[in-house]
Structure 1
Amino acid sequence: MRFGIKTRPEHTTWPELRDVWIAADDIELFESAWNWDHFYPLTGDLAGPNFEGWTMLAALAQATRRIRLGCQVTGMIYRHPAVLANMAATIDVISEGRLDLGVGAGWNQQECDAYGIELPPLRERFDQFDEGVQVLIGLLSQETTTFEGRYFRLTDARCEPKGFQRPHPPIVIGGRGPRRTLRAVALWAQQWNAIVQSPADWRALKETLLVRCDEVGRNPAEIVCSVNVVIDPEQGIGPAVDKVAAYAEAGVDLVIMNLPHRAKPEILEPLAEALTPLASA
C-alpha cells in the first residue's frame, strides 16, 4: 500500500500549507500531496477565504523536489479543457514530471451560481466531462488535436511545451458513479479516486469497475485505486490508521490521508511511523 496527504486550502494561510507540503516532501513514505479545486470554503464560514488550487500547485511544485502533486479533483465545468491542458503541461514542466491530473465532472452549485458558471444537469455534465477528458489527453499527448464535440471544438490545436511525462501526466478521475464515472475511469484513467464510506462500499464499486473495464477491453491492473481517510483531530491518528488497515485488507492501492485542518508539519513524522507497517500490505 502507498500513501499520500491532502490539505484543505480554506481558512488558512499560505505559509501553513507550504510548510506542511515541504515537510511531507522530506518523508519518503508519502508519495503524493493534494489540495482541492474550489473557490469557496466547504466548511465553516462559507464566505471565508479559500486559495485557488492550480496556482497553488504551481508554487508548491517549485517549493518541493520529490513528492507528486495534484488537485483532488479539478471540476471540468470551471475551465475550458484546452486551458486546463496548458496549465497542466506547464506545472508538469515546473515539477519535472510530478503532476497527477485529477479531474471530475464538478458539483458545487453555490460556486457556479456566484460566478455565473453553468452547472448542467447530471447527464449533460458527464457528457461534457467525457469530451473534456478526451480534449485533455489529445492536447497533452499529440502534436495537434482536432476534436468535434457537442461542448468542445478544436481545430489543429497545440499545447506546447508538453509536460515531462509521456504520453501525458496520469489522469486521476474522482467519483463513485457506477455507470458514467466508472466507465470514464475504465476508458481513460490511470488512477481512480473512489468516494466511499467503508471497505465494503469500496469492494462493491471495485467489482463494478472490473465490469466496466471488461466492457471496454481495459486491463484493470493498469488503474491505481485510491481512497481518502480523514484524520479526526479529536480522535488523533489511531482510528484513522485502523481504517487504513481495513482498506489495505480490501485491496486498495493508495490511501490519501486527509490531514486535520491547519495541521502542523509535526503531525507527519508520527503519522508516517504509524503507517509504515502497512506499507507492505
Structure 2
Amino acid sequence: MRLGIKTKPEHTPWRELVDVWRAADDIELFESAWNWDHFYPLSGDLTAPNYEAWTMLAAMAQATRRIRIGCQVTGMIYRHPAVLANMAATTDVISGGRLEIGLGAGWMQQECDAYGIELPPLRQRFDLFDEGVQAIIGLLSQEVTDFAGTYVQLTGARCEPKPVQRPHPPVVIGGTGPKRTLRTAARWAQQWHAGARSPEHWRELDDVLRAHCADVGRDPAEITRSVNVRVHAETGIEPAVEEAAGYREAGVDLVVFNLPHHVPAGYLDRLATAAAPLTG
C-alpha cells in the first residue's frame, strides 16, 4: 500500500499549511499531498477562511520538491473545462511533472447559491462531467482539440504549454456513484478515489468498478484505487492506522490520511512511524 496526506485548507494560517506540506515532502513514505476544492469551510464557522484549491496547488508546487500534489477533487461546475485544462497544464509545469488532476461533478449547493453558479440536476451534472473530462484530456494531450458536446464546445482549441507528464497528468476521478461516476472512472481514470464508509463498502464499489472496466475493455489493474482515512485530533494516530490496515486488507492501493487542523511539529514523523508497516 502507498500513503499520502491531505490538509483541510480551512481555519488554518497559510504558513501552517506550507509547513505541513514541506514536512510531508521530506518524508519518503508519503507519496502525495492533497487539498479540497471548496470556497467555504466544511466544518465549524462557515464565515472563516478557506483557501482556493488551484492557486494553493500552484504555490505548493513551488514550496515542495518531490511529493505529488493534487485536489480531492475539483468540482467541474466551478470552472470551464478548457480553463481548468490550462490551469492543470501550468501547475504541472510549475511542479516539474508532479500533478494529479482530481475531478468530480461537484455538489455544494450553498457555494453555488452564494456565487450564482448553476448546480444542474444530477443527470445533467454528470453529462457535463463526462464531457468535461474528455475535453480536458483532449486539450492536455492533443495539439488541437475539437469537441461538440451538449455542454462543452471546443473549436480548434489549444492548450499551451503542454504539461510535463505525457500524454497528460494522471486523472483522478472521485466519487461513489455506481452508474455514472464509476463508469467514467472505468473509461478515463488513472486513479479512482472513493469516499467509502468502510472496507466492506469499498469492496462493493470496487466490484462495480471492475464490472464497468469489463464493459469498456479496460484492465482494472491500470487504475489506482484510493481512499481517505481521517485522523481525528481527539483519538490520535493509532485508530487511523488501524482503519487504514482494514482498507489494505480489502485491496486499496493508496490511503490518504486526512489530517486534523493545526498539526504540531513532529506529527508527520509520528504518523510515518506508525503507518510504515502498512507499506511492507
- The TM-score, its normalising length taken from structure 2, stands at 0.99
Aligned to 1:170: 170
Aligned to 1:66: 66
- Cα distance in structure 2, aligned partners of 1:38 and 1:277: 33
**Correspondences of 1:130-149 after superposition (within 5 Å):** 130-149=130-149
1:3-35 alpha-carbon deviations (Å, 9 max, x no partner): 000000111111000000000000000000000
> Conserved in 2, the CA contact under 8 Å of 1:140 and 1:162?
yes
Structure 1 residue 106 corresponds to structure 2 residue 88: no
Q: Cα distance, 1:266 vs. partner? A: 1.6
1:75-96 alpha-carbon deviations (Å, 9 max, x no partner): 0000000000000000000000
Runs of 4 or more above 4 Å deviation: none
Structure 1 residue 267 corresponds to structure 2 residue 267: yes
Letter in 1 for 2:99: L
Aligned to 2:33: 33
SS, match of residue 172 in structure 1: strand
1:46-79 alpha-carbon deviations (Å, 9 max, x no partner): 1111110100100000000000001100000000
Aligned to 1:179: 179
SS, match of residue 178 in structure 2: coil
- Cα distance in structure 2, aligned partners of 1:22 and 1:272: 14
- Cα distance in structure 1, aligned partners of 2:208 and 2:160: 37
SS, match of residue 78 in structure 2: coil
- Cα distance in structure 1, aligned partners of 2:47 and 2:146: 41
SS, match of residue 16 in structure 1: helix
CA spacing shift, 1:265–1:127, aligned 2, 3 Å: farther
- Cα distance in structure 2, aligned partners of 1:270 and 1:10: 23
**Correspondences of 1:1-281 after superposition (within 5 Å):** 1-280=1-280
Letter in 2 for 1:147: F
- Cα distance in structure 2, aligned partners of 1:78 and 1:104: 11
Q: Cα distance, 1:265 vs. partner? A: 4.0
Identical positions, percent: 71
1:198-241 alpha-carbon deviations (Å, 9 max, x no partner): 00000000001110000111110000000000001111101001
Q: Cα distance, 1:159 vs. partner? A: 0.2
- Cα distance in structure 2, aligned partners of 1:5 and 1:166: 25
SS, match of residue 245 in structure 2: helix
> Conserved in 2, the CA contact under 8 Å of 1:175 and 1:193?
yes
Structure 1: stretches of 5+ with no match in the other structure: none
- Cα distance in structure 1, aligned partners of 2:245 and 2:10: 29
* Paired residues, number: 280
Letter in 1 for 2:177: G
- Cα distance in structure 1, aligned partners of 2:200 and 2:162: 40
- Cα distance in structure 2, aligned partners of 1:77 and 1:104: 9
CA spacing shift, 1:13–1:186, aligned 2, 3 Å: same
- Cα distance in structure 1, aligned partners of 2:21 and 2:48: 23
CA spacing shift, 1:184–1:265, aligned 2, 3 Å: farther
- Cα distance in structure 2, aligned partners of 1:186 and 1:265: 40
Q: Cα distance, 1:139 vs. partner? A: 0.2
- Cα distance in structure 1, aligned partners of 2:232 and 2:149: 44
Letter in 2 for 1:256: V
Letter in 1 for 2:227: V
Q: Cα distance, 1:264 vs. partner? A: 2.5
Letter in 2 for 1:67: I
Q: Cα distance, 1:250 vs. partner? A: 0.6
| Range with greater deviation from structure 2 (258-267 or 221-230) | 258-267
C-alpha RMSD of matched pairs (Å) = 0.6
> Conserved in 2, the CA contact under 8 Å of 1:16 and 1:264?
no
| Range with greater deviation from structure 2 (118-127 or 264-273) | 264-273
- Cα distance in structure 2, aligned partners of 1:73 and 1:35: 8
